[in-house]
């Protein structure tokens, strides 16, 4: 990884990325149209659902179930991404290519190693955390990924007497620090709104947009997750239409975090998917669930069947 200090990060010019970033936004976020302008969806699955399987089998299972992409939670592969050598990264990328799927990017960024915190008043810990996020950028890019979903609620809470406002400012400062490196590597960092039961920093898309605008860098945007909308006051469809220019990724599951098909998503999510289609969203829709007990095969196959049922109603 290229070594950066604070001054280098903050002083880097947006021109470094230039036309390459524009190309990323078109190809990485909007995807590809089908033949003769046909609208196509791109479905991915988050790999922690399959974390007990070897990586190569994860890729094969995802492809066999019908997904076009796989999204990685780094802690499922190693405690620290430095443990994954350049050779192993190349092997992982080839395994995905051999299976016929694409590595979409990363999420659950700061579960490990221990001791990381993005907004703490402890400057040394913040610096170490920001530097680790830069390493994750390199890991993501080395695998061919284009997005990093920044959830990690426990690593962004207001802590140790820090006010929520101060935590937000530290979050913004950290994103400004890593954004130039992310743009150099063609990676977009996406602020994930999480409800108040998980964190007190960025609970709604409106607050995520405040952060995006404060950072003011094209490498930092936001995303939409059905499960993480309890603090919102508008329906899913309205939120998508309102914040669509900043939405670069979508996570989907039943509202209680179970796999698709266990509850009412096949009916309730139709207006939201219709909005995505009408607005021209051609990015990834990734399955992220939090109850793994049914097993990876059942979760993967029944969820994509539900996604197809939703799409058939549009």
Choose between 86 and 19: higher pLDDT: 86
SS3 (DSSP) at 126: helix
Give bridge partners of residue 286 from the DSSP assignment: 44, 251
Compute CA 66 distance to the chain's CA centroid, rounded to the nearest angstrom: 20
Instruction: Say yes or no to pLDDT of 30 above 80.
Output: no
* Side-chain-side CA neighbours of residue 138 (13 Å): 16
For the chain, domain boundaries: 38-312
pLDDT at 159: 83
Q: How far apart are CA 210 and CA 6, in angstroms?
A: 23
Instruction: Say yes or no to pLDDT of 34 above 90.
Output: no
Residue by residue, DSSP assigns 216-228 as: T-TTEEEEEEGGG
The backbone torsions φ and ψ at residue 218, rounded to the nearest 5 degrees and listed phi first, read -65, -15
Across 266-286, average pLDDT:
97
**Which pLDDT tens digit goes with each residue over 179-235?**
999 999 999 999 999 999 999 999 999 999 999 999 999 999 999 999 999 999 999
3-state secondary structure 80-114: CHHHCCHHHHHHHHHHHHHHCCEEEEECCCCCCCC
Q: How far apart are CA 260 and CA 179, in angstroms?
A: 34
Compute CA 271 distance to the chain's CA centroid, rounded to the nearest angstrom: 22
Q: How far apart are CA 67 and CA 42, in angstroms?
A: 8
Q: How far apart are CA 252 and CA 149, in angstroms?
A: 13
Residues in the chain: 314
Q: How far apart are CA 307 and CA 305, in angstroms?
A: 5
User: What's the farthest any 2 CA atoms get from each other in the chain?
Assistant: 57
Return all residues near 84 (Cβ < 8 A) that are at least 6 apart. Answer: 77, 78, 92, 139
Whole-number average pLDDT of the chain: 90
Pick the CATH number of 38-312 from 3.40.50.720, 2.40.37.10, 3.30.70.260, 3.20.20.150: 3.20.20.150
User: What global pTM score does this model have?
Assistant: 0.88
In the chain the first and final C-alpha atoms are separated, in Å, by 45
Q: Using omega within 30 degrees of 0 as the cis cutoff, is the peptide bond preceding 261 cis? A: no
pLDDT at 37: 59
**Which pLDDT tens digit goes with each residue over 77-129?**
999 999 999 999 999 999 999 999 999 999 999 999 999 999 999 999 999 99
Q: In 3D, which of 91, 67, 65 has the Cα closest to residue 77?
A: 91
pLDDT at 282: 86
pLDDT at 202: 97
Number of other residues whose CB lies within 10 A of the CB of residue 287: 24
Q: How far apart are CA 9 and CA 7, in angstroms?
A: 5
Across 254-278, average pLDDT:
98
**Which pLDDT tens digit goes with each residue over 141-174?**
999 999 999 999 999 999 878 999 999 999 999 9
Instruction: Say yes or no to pLDDT of 13 above 80.
Output: no
């Amino acid at each position: 990884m290229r070594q950066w200090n604070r001054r280098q990060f903050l002083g880097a010019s947006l021109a470094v990325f230039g036309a390459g970033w524009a190309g990323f936004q078109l190809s990485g976020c909007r995807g590809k149209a089908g033949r003769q302008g046909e609208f196509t969806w791109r479905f991915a699955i988050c790999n922690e659902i399959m974390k007990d399987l070897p990586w190569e089998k994860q890729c094969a299972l995802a492809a066999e179930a019908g997904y076009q992409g796989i999204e990685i939670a780094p802690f499922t592969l190693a405690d620290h991404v430095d443990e994954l050598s350049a050779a192993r990264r190349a092997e992982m990328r080839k395994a995905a290519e051999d299976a016929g799927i694409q590595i979409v990017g990363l999420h659950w960024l700061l579960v490990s190693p221990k001791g990381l915190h993005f907004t703490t008043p402890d400057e040394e810990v913040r610096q170490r955390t920001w530097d680790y996020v830069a390493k994750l950028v390199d890991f993501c890019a080395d695998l061919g990924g284009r997005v990093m979903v920044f959830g990690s609620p426990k690593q962004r809470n207001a802590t140790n007497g820090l006010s929520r406002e101060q935590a937000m400012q530290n979050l913004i400062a950290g994103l400004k620090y890593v954004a130039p490196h992310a743009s150099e590597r063609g990676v977009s960092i996406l602020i994930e709104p999480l409800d108040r039961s998980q964190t007190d920093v960025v609970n709604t898309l409106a607050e995520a947009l405040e952060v995006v605008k404060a950072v003011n860098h094209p490498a930092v945007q936001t995303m939409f997750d059905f499960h993480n909308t309890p603090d919102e006051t508008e329906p899913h469809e309205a939120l998508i239409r309102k914040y669509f220019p900043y939405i670069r990724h979508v996570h989907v599951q039943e509202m209680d975090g179970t796999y698709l098909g266990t509850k009412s998503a096949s009916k309730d999510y139709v207006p939201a998917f219709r909005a995505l289609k009408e607005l021209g969203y051609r990015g990834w829709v990734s399955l992220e669930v939090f109850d793994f007990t049914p097993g990876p095969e059942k979760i993967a196959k029944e969820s994509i069947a539900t996604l197809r049922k939703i799409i058939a109603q549009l």
